[in-house]
Amino acid sequence: MSDERTGRPAAAQRSADGGEPRLRPFAADDLGDLREVCLRTGDLGADGSALTAWPDLVGDVYAAPYAVADPGLVTVVELDLRVVGYVIGCRDTLAFEAWCAEHWWPALRERYPAPGPDASAFDAPLLRQVHTAPVEERPYLATHPSHLHVDLLPVAQGLGLGRRLIDHVLGRLRDAGSPGVHLGVGAANTRAVGFYARLGLRPLVEPEPGATSYVLGRSFAADGDAPA
């Protein structure tokens, strides 16, 4: 048996603990696992659990709202009955932010305090996001209105699953009529930066010297009929 895309032998798709990961649609009871994966990859791709006072916070900001707002855009990786990775996204970033402002941040403000002097460097920007939900003018949204996040636990990394997840969500966004997608990545997350470059995502904003993050994107118009 071989993987349908890469032609690699199926053994090459085995996870580090020997199981066979599979992609499947999101189910409502996956939300907790999404938050867990988000936390365990939340420190520039590494485990953020030692850095936060609220283990659910990073997933409540960067994973759960996508799954609630548009579950059809979520694909998860399941391994041994556990979710070990996901891709999430939204078709229209400004519409998603408006949805969050109305339906998501108000409940979170009841759960999490405004950032104070005691908040860790990990928690402070997340708490700021919850309490101020800043909306910045971003010129690239006209051409790249969609965005996505992809995260895999170490056990599922390096098996071609990241590419397959991205292929899935790009196909869906393109089918939904999106002209392009963008995402943000920490400059220090060199693994992800290399991965996105390999998948054809290019800087949409010229990074300033010493930039700590990049905005990358891909236009579907340039893809012709192929989503990846």
Ligand X SMILES: CC(C)(COP(=O)(O)OP(=O)(O)OC[C@H]1O[C@@H](n2cnc3c(N)ncnc32)[C@H](O)[C@@H]1OP(=O)(O)O)[C@@H](O)C(=O)NCCC(=O)NCCS
Strand pairing partners for 111? none
Q: Can you tell me the distance from the alpha carbon of 29 to that of 91, in angstroms, rounded to the nearest whole number?
A: 23
Using the contact rule CB under 6 A, the part of the chain among 66-74, 109-117, 148-156, 169-177 near ligand X is 148-156
Residue 151 binds ligand X, judged by CB under 6 A:
yes
List the one residue from 113, 158, 171, 200 that touches ligand X (CB under 6 A). Answer: 158
* Pair of tokens at residue 20: 């066979």
Give least dist CB 135 to ligand X, A.
21
List the one residue from 152, 170, 181, 216 that touches ligand X (CB under 6 A). Answer: 152
Calculated CA dihedral for residues 33, 167, 2, 193, nearest 10 degrees: -80
| Residue 59 or 162 with smaller CB distance to ligand X | 162
| Residue 117 or 121 with smaller CB distance to ligand X | 121
Give least dist CB 132 to ligand X, A.
22
List the one residue from 100, 161, 169, 181 that touches ligand X (CB under 6 A). Answer: 161
Sequence-ordered list of residues with C-beta below 8 angstroms from that of 46, at least 6 positions apart, any chain: none
Sequence-ordered list of residues with C-beta below 8 angstroms from that of 6, at least 6 positions apart, any chain: 12, 160
Calculated CA dihedral for residues 175, 176, 179, 184, nearest 10 degrees: -100
| Residue 63 or 150 with smaller CB distance to ligand X | 150
